[in-house]
Amino acid sequence: MGMNKDVRDIIIKYGKDILASEAFRDTFSQTHHYSSTVGDHTLGVTVEAVKICLRHCITDDETLCNVVSASLCHDLGIMGRDEKFRNNVQCLMRHPADSVEAYKKLRGEDNVRVLDSIRNHMFPLRLRLPKYKEGWILMIADKLASAREKTDHPSITEAERDELLAAVNGISC
Ligand SMILES: [Fe+2]
Ligand SMILES: [Fe+2]
């Protein structure tokens, strides 16, 4: 159970630059939810988010691009958590703002739909709801992927992850 070729192609098409960035590569060195890394969690969320889009026939370029971008960046602000945040609660509440900054730095753009989606993905812990459909998709995908990680049925297998990263980094396998 993992991602099919359509899902993989969409993630690569709209997320190649983020996936190949140093900031994203670093996410595989920090653990998250005890068993996986921030990077594995992030890829799982992106897979679930794209699946939700396809299931609801959301296939326009703009929305897919926003969903993939927001998903890949939504937890980048967690990086360096031990140095940045005093405790878990602070990390949960504050990382979206740092993820927004990480997204802006990577893409050099201020897409309001992506910004709002990242900023408000922690509902109900933070009490602001996302304004746009991209944000709702991210919020649901985040919860789905996290639940799957915790029950040892991750949304993307290690082999699929390695193959995806090899593809964007130009390594054939
Ligand atoms: Fe998060
Ligand atoms: Fe997350």
Query: What mean pLDDT is reported for the chain?
Result: 93
Residue spans of the domains in the chain: they are 5-169
- Residue of 133, 159, 12, 19 whose CA lies nearest to 66: 133
Query: How far, in Å, from the CA of 57 to the mean position of ligand 2?
Result: 24
Q: Residue 73: which residues within 8 A CB-CB, separation 6 or more? A: 18, 99, 102, 103, 106, 114, 118
- Residue of 118, 89, 98, 110 whose CA lies nearest to 23: 98
Query: How far, in Å, from the CA of 121 to the mean position of ligand 2?
Result: 8
Q: Please tell me the CATH code under which domain 5-169 is placed.
A: 1.10.3210.10
Three-class secondary structure of residue 4 per DSSP: coil
Give me the sign of the Cα torsion angle 111, 79, 2, 160: positive
Q: Which residues lie at CB < 5 A from ion ligand 2?
A: 75, 142
Distances (CA, A) of 136 to 50, 62, 67, 119, 132: 12, 16, 10, 12, 7
Query: How far, in Å, from the CA of 41 to the mean position of ligand 2?
Result: 7
Query: How far, in Å, from the CA of 160 to the mean position of ligand 2?
Result: 19
Q: How do the residues of the chain divide into helix, strand and coil, expressed in percent and rounded to 5?
A: 70, 0, 30
- Residue of 121, 162, 127 whose CA lies nearest to 145: 121
Query: DSSP characters for 135-161?
Result: HHHHHHHHHHHHHHHHTT--SS-HHHH
Integer-rounded Cα Rg, in Å, for the chain is: 15
pLDDT at position 2 over 90: no
Q: What is the pLDDT of residues 113-145, one digit of tens each?
A: 999 999 999 988 888 899 999 999 999 999 999
Q: What is the average per-residue pLDDT within 166-172?
A: 81
Q: What percent of the chain has pLDDT over 70?
A: 95
Confidence (pLDDT) at 126: 84
Token pair belonging to 137: 């998709």
Query: How far, in Å, from the CA of 173 to the mean position of ligand 1?
Result: 32
Q: How far apart are CA 164 and CA 42, in angstroms?
A: 13
Give the ligand at the shortest distance from the Cα of 32. Answer: 2
Indicate the pLDDT class of residue 30, thresholds 50, 70 and 90: confident
Confidence (pLDDT) at 73: 98
Confidence (pLDDT) at 106: 96
Confidence (pLDDT) at 45: 98
Is 74 in contact with 42 (CB distance < 8 Å)?
A: yes
Confidence (pLDDT) at 35: 65
